[in-house]
Amino acid sequence: MPEVIALRRKAVSETERHLFISGSVLETDWITKIPMSHKHHYLIICEGLLMYFSRDEVNRLFSVIAENFPHVELATDIIGRVFVKHSRRHPHIPKTQARLDWAIDHPDELKQFGIPLTISEHFSMLDRQKERLGWLNILRAIPLFGKLYQFVNFRFDTYPER
């Protein structure tokens, strides 16, 4: 969204290696705005994004990324199915009229898309919030809560010829 990019430019400087691209990630025109080189490694961050898409849209996005970027690593957050199921009970989500759709309970489910990938890092956000949680750390012992909000870093094992 152009207005989001404009606001971001006020806070963070854009560089040759750190690009701000306005547009829909579900379209493919954003790819043409990125200088491509078979020598470069790419990091794509999809934070706070994928949960709003359908499974087919996430699959299509991953396919486009895997086909167009040599040596790409993707970092994203994922939410669990229980989170989506009960998202209307969240105090803020209904106010935005947002609809959460895509959810997985474990990063291994990413392999169901049929795109070869390797998971390099995975953790529950609860594990990274130990100091802030205080007595609520007890929730970390319940597997269901660990699946609500996770982070995963992975690379596609497809290296197209460019």
Looking at the domain assignment, is residue 9 inside a domain?
A: no
Q: What angle do CA 152, 72, 52 make, to 5 degrees?
A: 50
Least confident of 11-25, 68-82, 84-98, 109-123: 84-98
Do the Cβ atoms of 150 and 122 come closer than 8 Å? yes
Give the Cα separation of 147 and 149 in Å (integer). Answer: 6
Residue 60 lies in a domain: yes
d(CA 133, CA 146): 13
CB 79 within 8 A of CB 148: yes
Q: Are 120 and 155 in contact (CB under 8 A)?
A: yes
In the chain, how many domains are there?
1
26 falls within a domain: no
Domain annotation covers residue 49: yes
Secondary structure E strands in 19-128: 42-46, 72-79, 117-124
Q: What is the pLDDT of residue 159?
A: 55
Q: Cβ contacts of residue 144 below 8 Å, gap of 6+?
A: 80, 82
Q: Is residue 62 part of a domain?
A: yes
Asked whether residue 15 is domain-assigned, the answer is no
**pTM: predicted TM-score of the whole model, two decimal places:** 0.81
Residue 144 sits in a domain of what CATH number?
A: 3.40.50.150
Cα dist from 72 to 7, 63, 79, 160, whole Å: 27, 12, 22, 11
Q: Specify the pLDDT at position 147.
A: 79
pLDDT in tens, 63-73: 999 988 878 99
* CA–CA dist 20, 8 (Å, integer): 8
pLDDT, tens digit, 9 for 90 and up, residues 97-153: 778 899 999 999 999 999 999 999 999 887 777 778 787 777 777 777 777 889 999
Domain that holds residue 40: 36-156
The residues that bridge with 124 in the sheet, in sequence order, are: 150
Across the chain, mean pLDDT equals 85
